[in-house]
């Protein structure tokens, strides 16, 4: 980059964390495959390059194990337990191990099953909106967008609904480590996550036993049944898969529904479009995923030298692939910073691309579409709460998540 000396490229810098968009625009324009001294990693920002990188065999997702291997004995004592569990998650494996895990998980997300969940999703959305309205609570995250996905995932997995609160707590503790969501100040975060993983594993063990005795329509029963080959998941792999689903499907969905509501409040003309035609809520969700998708950065390790846009990226380097930057690439999306719910086509990469592309995308889309349609329909006069501070974003390299969203409306029960 010609002006590299002047570039502040630490994505955790509070200003860049708050508003990364001018920085991403500059990288896309001037140095689309940029070596960042701050992160000691490459940052990839153009749409075509992001798609190529996410499909390239030289870029490995097996990124927890190398970190685990490199821990000092002291850090291993603190963080090794959680990291060893997370290293088993399919999202951090490469083919062929990934291919097997993904194939065996696919059954649980059969489109027929996911579509059949819409009625229950509506009930949950309306139930949480009832309590949100009745409580007079202002923070939409605390009362609605956080509990909703946790409850849905607990039901998807096959847990009794009265245990949904435990899923929320576990998810919180996992996010502290996996997303750094608690901030660096949380010295006890590895201990909390490790305790939660241990509790979860014990809990899922009981559910597995029950599903073996009485198979149901839930994910654990599907994972036990396998795909008819001899290669079924072991009980430990099923537990690990359930923990991954809770982690991968919770915060991302919370975040995207929250961001969508913020975007609609910020763009009253677009909010009016959805109010006039609730069928547009699906398109509003797609545009929110594009403009403020939940994932800013996906990490990859380089396992073989390769070239991208004339730069040689060496084995052992780290690459930060940015779906968020790709989703505002003007080469792909005209007027990319504009939130325009009728945008078509809208081939964003908020759910990733390649073999790891989100397995829960269809479920997330239904959940978010129903949530946005019902929020717009049931909360007339939707606006920021009086005196609410400007919304702030969780300090995070990987995630794009609001800390809270305080709103008011004119609804009564």
State the residues that interact with ligand HEM by CB under 6 A: 61, 90-91, 102, 153, 244-245, 248-249, 252-253, 256, 293-295, 298, 323, 350-352, 356, 358-360, 363-364
Minimum CB distance to ligand HEM, residue 30 (Å): 26
Residue with smallest beta-carbon separation from ligand HEM: 360
Minimum CB distance to ligand HEM, residue 386 (Å): 30
Closer residue to ligand HEM, CB minimum distance, 245 or 379: 245
Closer residue to ligand HEM, CB minimum distance, 95 or 119: 95
| Three-state DSSP string of the chain | CCCHHHCCCCCCCHHHHHCCHHHHHHHHHHCCEEEECCCCEEEECCHHHHHHHHCCCCEECCCHHHHHHCCCHHHHHHHHHHHHHHCCCHHHCCCCHHHHHHHHHHHHHCHHHHHHCHHHHHHHHHHHHHHHHHHCCCEHHHHHHCHHHHHHHHHHHCCCHHHHHHHHHHHHHHHHHHCCCCCCCCCCHHHHHHHHHHHHHHHHHHHHHHHHHCCCCCHHHHHHHCCCCCCCCCHHHHHHHHHHHHHHHHHHHHHHHHHHHHHHHHCHHHHHHHHHCHHHHHHHHHHHHHHHCCECCEEEEECCCEEECCEEECCCCEEEECHHHHCCCCCCCCCCCCCCCCCCCCCCCCCCCHHHCCCCHHHHHHHHHHHHHHHHHHCCCCEECCCCCCCCECCCCCECCECCCEEECCCCC
Closer residue to ligand HEM, CB minimum distance, 20 or 323: 323
Minimum CB distance to ligand HEM, residue 350 (Å): 5
Minimum CB distance to ligand HEM, residue 378 (Å): 21
Closer residue to ligand HEM, CB minimum distance, 274 or 401: 401
Minimum CB distance to ligand HEM, residue 136 (Å): 28
Closer residue to ligand HEM, CB minimum distance, 31 or 222: 222
Minimum CB distance to ligand HEM, residue 406 (Å): 22
Closer residue to ligand HEM, CB minimum distance, 323 or 336: 323
Closer residue to ligand HEM, CB minimum distance, 104 or 274: 104
Minimum CB distance to ligand HEM, residue 349 (Å): 8
């Amino acid at each position: 980059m010609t002006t590299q000396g002047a570039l502040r490229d630490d994505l955790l810098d509070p200003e860049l964390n708050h508003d990364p968009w001018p920085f991403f625009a500059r990288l896309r324009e001037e140095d689309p495959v940029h070596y960042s001294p701050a992160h000691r990693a490459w940052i990839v920002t153009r749409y075509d390059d992001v798609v190529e990188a996410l499909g390239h065999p030289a870029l490995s997702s097996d990124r927890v194990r190398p970190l685990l291997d490199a821990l000092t004995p002291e850090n291993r004592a603190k963080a090794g337990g959680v990291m060893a569990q997370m290293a088993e998650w399919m999202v951090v494996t490469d083919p062929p191990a990934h291919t097997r895990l993904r194939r065996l998980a696919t059954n649980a997300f059969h489109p027929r099953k996911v579509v059949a969940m819409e009625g229950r999703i509506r009930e949950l959305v309306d139930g949480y909106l009832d309590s949100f309205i009745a409580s007079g609570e202002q923070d939409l995250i605390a009362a609605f967008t956080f509990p909703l996905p946790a409850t849905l995932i607990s039901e998807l997995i096959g847990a009794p609904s009265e245990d949904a609160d435990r899923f929320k707590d576990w998810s919180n503790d996992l996010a502290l480590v996996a997303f750094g969501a608690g901030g660096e100040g949380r010295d006890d975060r590895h201990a909390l996550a490790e305790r939660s993983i241990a509790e979860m594993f014990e809990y899922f063990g009981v559910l597995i036993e029950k599903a073996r005795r009485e198979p149901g329509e839930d994910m654990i029963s599907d994972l036990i049944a396998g795909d008819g080959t001899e290669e079924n998941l072991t009980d430990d792999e099923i537990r690990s898969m359930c923990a991954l689903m809770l982690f991968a499907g919770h915060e991302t969905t919370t975040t995207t529904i929250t961001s969508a509501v913020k975007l609609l409040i910020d763009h009253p003309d677009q909010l009016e479009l959805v109010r006039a035609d609730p069928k547009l809520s699906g398109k509003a969700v797609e545009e929110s995923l594009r403009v403020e998708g939940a994932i800013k950065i996906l990490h990859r390790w380089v396992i073989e030298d390769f070239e991208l846009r004339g730069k040689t990226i060496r084995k052992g380097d780290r690459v930060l692939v940015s779906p968020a930057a790709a989703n505002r690439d003007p080469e792909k999306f005209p007027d990319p910073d504009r939130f325009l719910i009728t945008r078509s086509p809208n081939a964003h990469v908020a759910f990733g691309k390649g073999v790891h592309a989100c397995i829960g995308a269809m479920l997330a889309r239904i959940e978010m579409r129903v949530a946005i349609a019902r929020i717009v329909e049931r909360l007339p006069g939707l606006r920021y709460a009086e005196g609410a501070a400007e919304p702030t974003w969780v300090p995070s390299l990987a995630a794009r998540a609001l800390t809270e969203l305080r709103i008011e409306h004119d609804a009564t029960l």
